[in-house]
Amino acid sequence: MTSKQIKIGDKTKFFWTNFIKGFIWTIIIVGAYVLIKHYFGFNWEEAIKPYLENQLLIYSIYTISELMFGIIPPEFFMIWGLSSGHLIDYVGIVSLLAVISYISGFIGFLFGDFLKTTVTFRYIRKRFLSKYQPLVVKYGAFLILVAAMTPLPFSAIAMLVGSFHFPVKKYLFWSLSRFLRFALYAIIVWQANML
């Protein structure tokens, strides 16, 4: 079945199911942050202040996480960005996080495209990516949008899409939706911090 044969309703359902999962996950993370901050009097910023001040360390951890299929949700790093205390700084931090995520996805795409015949890639595909392979076949380019906007592992999907000879320009276009996800979730995190 090609992506053209899939009904629009199937794509819509697939997108919203995954988007709602991501939204619920974000609400849980942000809700826990607000509860801990306001009701338990725990000042997490003081507890981890030495680490918060080392921006290179935080951005390095985030980059590694994004390259390794997003093992740490970006929302945690958005919460870290709140420590700046100013909206302009927060927007800058979240923008940089989004750029890192976008570039990490593209690196994954290139990895899949150029190294698809290697033993390493075959191992990664078999061990970590096999459950997503049918989704690439079923949804094609639409899967890039869904992975960019939802908790599906963006870099992993990008890697698989690259291994399917997907055109680079189309990949780069569809994956721009990653920036929209970061903008939406950053607004949620910022507003929750104002509570």
Instruction: Identify residue 95 by its one-letter amino acid code.
Output: S
pLDDT mean over 176-193: 93
Q: Which of residues 63 and 35 earns the better pLDDT score?
A: 63
The mean per-residue pLDDT over the stretch 45-69 comes to 82
Q: In this structure, how many other beta carbons lie within 10 angstroms of the beta carbon of residue 72?
A: 13
The 8-class DSSP code of residue 184 comes to H
Output the pLDDT for position 84: 79
The overall longest dimension of the chain from CA atoms, in Å, is: 54
Asked if residue 15 has pLDDT above 90, the reply is no
Tokens read off for 115 = 């190294």
The alpha-carbon radius of gyration of the chain (Å, integer) is: 18
- For residues 63-89, average pLDDT: 89
pTM: 0.84
In tens, the pLDDT along 167-176 reads 999 999 999 9
Picking from 11-20, 97-106, 151-160, 178-187, which range would have the lowest pLDDT averaged per residue? 11-20
Q: Is the pLDDT of residue 47 over 90?
A: no
Taking CA atoms, 157 is separated from 11, 56, 112, 139, 160, in Å, by 16, 27, 10, 11, 5
- 81-105 average pLDDT score: 93
Residue found by looking up tokens 């960019």 in the block: 148
Angstrom distance (rounded) from CA 45 to CA 53: 10
Q: How confident is the model at residue 46 (pLDDT cuts 50, 70, 90)?
A: low
Q: Are 68 and 154 in contact (CB under 8 A)?
A: no
pLDDT at 77 > cutoff 70: yes
What 8-state DSSP symbol labels residue 131? T
Q: What is the pLDDT at residue 40?
A: 73
d(C-alpha 170, C-alpha 180), whole Å: 17
